[in-house]
Amino acid sequence: MAKSNSKLMSGPVIGVLSCLLFPGISAAAAESKSSALEAQEAQPTSPLGAYLAARHAQQERNYADAARYMGTALQADPDNDDLVRRTFMFRISEGDIAKAIPLATRIADLDRRSGFADLVLVLQKLKAGNYEEALARTRMLPDDGVERLVAPLLSAWAQVGMGKASQALLTLAEVKMPNGLPQLLMFHHALIADKTDRIDEAAQLYDQLTSDTAHLTWRTVELAGNFYERHQRDAAARRLFQRFKSDPDSGAVIDAAMKRLDSGAIPKRLIATPQDGAAEALFDIASILNARETLDIALIHARLALYLKPNFPIAQLLVAEIADELGHNEEALADYRAIDRTSPLYWSARSRQAAMLDQLNRTDEAVALLRSMAAERPHDYQPMIELGDVLRSHDRFKEAVAAYDDAFARYGKDKPTDWRLYYSRGIALERSQQWPRAEMDFRRALELEPEQPLVLNYLGYSWIDQGVHLDRALGMVERAVALSPNDGYIVDSLGWAYFRLGNFAKATENLERAIELVPEDPTINDHLGDAYWRTGRHLEARFQWNRALLFKPEADEASKIESKLEHGLGRPVSAVQSKGG
């Protein structure tokens, strides 16, 4: 059975909305990867070399190097408008807004509708407290693309800075948002009402926002809860926090809030200035855009949020997550480590540090960090689950079992989503030759989630491999394929199950389908080679075995494949025969 490398990890901090409403916003993002520049490892030994190096860094989404190299090219040709624009975009992408501002001024002088350049100049005025000038410049922002969302939010917060709260709320009320985004306007309406001490209005809006489970994020929970705490609505705050208490990403935030409630301490206002409100707006837009197709634009807005509000841990966390998604592991690690240890988000940032350390092949450091976190919070099971996942991914199965056992010892009553933990420990138990316990975990996982294809596949295949419960087991694997028809690893399991049962025609049919889905997996290619051999297609079998070797299987598997290339397969033995059944 081929093993998928996917991990049972939690999702990002903030849920995102569809970005398909914003075509054409990635002006600086992607150059064609077919460009000849991609093939050049340009060295910045001249202005041209610096330009080429910057373009190559852009393709790698390495904006720090892109900004540095393009800046070198700009120094050599300071009147080149194209270089000005490119350098500007790279500087805001890397977060060096101070150096981007002079370039933004030049671009705005050249183009009365200059998009990001005007946006940066709006923020410059907002940061300095020049609210009237900021408001005037928001009117220069384009009325399409992502600016159609940004402009009214920044306008409203500039009006708050001018002492015109009623006008700010009217500005929001006049906006026609795309489907799915009125919630964002209501959220900022609540924040403005809160900031300007319209207590009853803010309370009504926060109540409405937190009752909408479909759109509720823990950032909304944090801000609404902060309002409830400050206005002695402790019961409402407690009920709200309790709803999110079990969420691993928000647990530390909720714990801190619960401790405040128990102590009677009153928290500080989270949105204390118009700059805070504008930074929140930019962060919200970045969160909406936090999808693979628009990561570059999400990154820019998160960087701009941090320009307005440098101590903004949730925006720092988003920047780190985007670096992670872009494959910039060292940068992501540094960003996670930069989050203030006094922030409730520091705990979540450390968990992500561990994941980054593991990806950087610093697994022992990741293990040590997770063990330290587990020791700090003896009743928190999440660090031990993550530790088990890390150990299991490195075939350290006995250690993984111990970690999962510790997680269960910290655990409360099972919930339907807990099938994941039983499934994970079941794999570690099976791989460490503790089948009776593994089988119990897989059965329990299915009790909690009867139609979970991963569990159906693993338990069903394991029974077939052992020659027991054959009819039920084959039905389970077939059901897993019906539930996940495009999962090549599960389709491979079905094909290999038929192979073990001696139905080589069915095995070949399913394994060919698995190869279409996961063409470069060595195990699936090996399995298909075996099926071809059993159906008399010896030349095709040797071709598949050779392909399997190309994809670098484990050493012991490689030696078995090499033996098959030399000697073929021996006499077929079915799973039933091998178990005496």
What pLDDT is stored for residue 473 in this prediction? 94
**480 and 518 fall within a common domain:** yes
Q: What percent of the chain has pLDDT over 70?
A: 88
Give the pLDDT band (50/70/90) at residue 577: very low
CB neighbours of residue 580 within 10 Å: 6
pLDDT (mean) for 9-33:
32
Element (H, E) at 151: helix 147-161
**445 and 473 fall within a common domain:** no
| Domain assignment of residue 327, yes or no | no
The SS3 of residue 269 is coil
Cβ 53 vs Cβ 67: under 8 Å = no
**488 and 393 fall within a common domain:** no
| Domain assignment of residue 487, yes or no | yes
Sign of CA dihedral 93, 97, 101, 103: negative
Residues 384 and 198: their CA atoms lie apart, in Å, by 45
**481 and 544 fall within a common domain:** yes
| Domain assignment of residue 444, yes or no | yes
**379 and 484 fall within a common domain:** no
**443 and 484 fall within a common domain:** no
DSSP state of 175: -
| Domain assignment of residue 38, yes or no | no
Above 90 in pLDDT, residue 217?
no
| 464 Cβ neighbours under 8 A, 6+ residues apart | 470, 473, 474, 477, 497, 500, 501, 575
Q: How far is CA 226 from CA 69, 185, 188, 189, 411, in A?
A: 45, 19, 15, 16, 29
What pLDDT is stored for residue 2 in this prediction? 53
| Domain assignment of residue 266, yes or no | no
| Residue whose structure tokens are 């399995």 | 527
What pLDDT is stored for residue 415 in this prediction? 78
Residues 117 and 105: their CA atoms lie apart, in Å, by 7
What pLDDT is stored for residue 1 in this prediction? 59
pLDDT per residue as tens digits for the range 344-373: 889 999 999 999 999 999 999 999 999 999
Q: Which of 417, 450, 483 is the last residue of a domain?
A: 450
Q: Rounded to the nearest 5°, which phi and psi values hold at 336?
A: -65, -40
pLDDT per residue as tens digits for the range 168-213: 999 999 887 666 578 899 999 999 999 999 999 999 999 999 997 7
Q: What is the mean pLDDT of the chain?
A: 87
What's the CA dihedral at 513, 518, 524, 530 to 10 degrees? Answer: 40
Sign of CA dihedral 355, 360, 364, 365: negative
What pLDDT is stored for residue 249 in this prediction? 61
> Of the given ranges (41-45, 79-83, 145-149, 391-395), which has the lowest mean pLDDT?
41-45
> Of the given ranges (362-371, 465-474, 513-522), which has the lowest mean pLDDT?
465-474
| Domain assignment of residue 213, yes or no | no
Range of the domain at 424: 361-450
**Between residues 58 and 533, which one has the greater pLDDT?**
533
- Please choose, from the candidates 55, 101, 106, the residue with its C-alpha nearest in 3D space to the C-alpha of residue 78: 106
**473 and 434 fall within a common domain:** no
Above 60 in pLDDT, residue 271?
yes
Residues 138 and 150: their CA atoms lie apart, in Å, by 9
Structure tokens at 102: 């002079």
Q: How far is CA 260 from CA 49, 229, 240, 298, 378, in A?
A: 57, 9, 14, 33, 20
Task: Give the CA angle between residues 561, 562, 566 to the nearest 5°.
Answer: 115
> Of the given ranges (322-336, 410-424, 439-453, 482-496), which has the lowest mean pLDDT?
410-424
Q: Give the chain's domain count.
A: 2
**431 and 493 fall within a common domain:** no
Q: Which of 416, 450, 484 is the last residue of a domain?
A: 450
| 300 Cβ neighbours under 8 A, 6+ residues apart | 92, 93, 116, 286
**383 and 426 fall within a common domain:** yes
| Domain assignment of residue 383, yes or no | yes
Give the pLDDT band (50/70/90) at residue 306: very high
- Residue 401's identity, in one-letter code, is V
Sign of CA dihedral 475, 480, 486, 492: negative
What pLDDT is stored for residue 253 in this prediction? 74
Sign of CA dihedral 179, 184, 189, 190: positive
**483 and 566 fall within a common domain:** yes
The CATH number of whichever domain residue 562 belongs to comes to 1.25.40.10
Give the pLDDT band (50/70/90) at residue 49: confident
**422 and 514 fall within a common domain:** no
| Domain assignment of residue 212, yes or no | no
**550 and 472 fall within a common domain:** yes
CB neighbours of residue 338 within 10 Å: 12
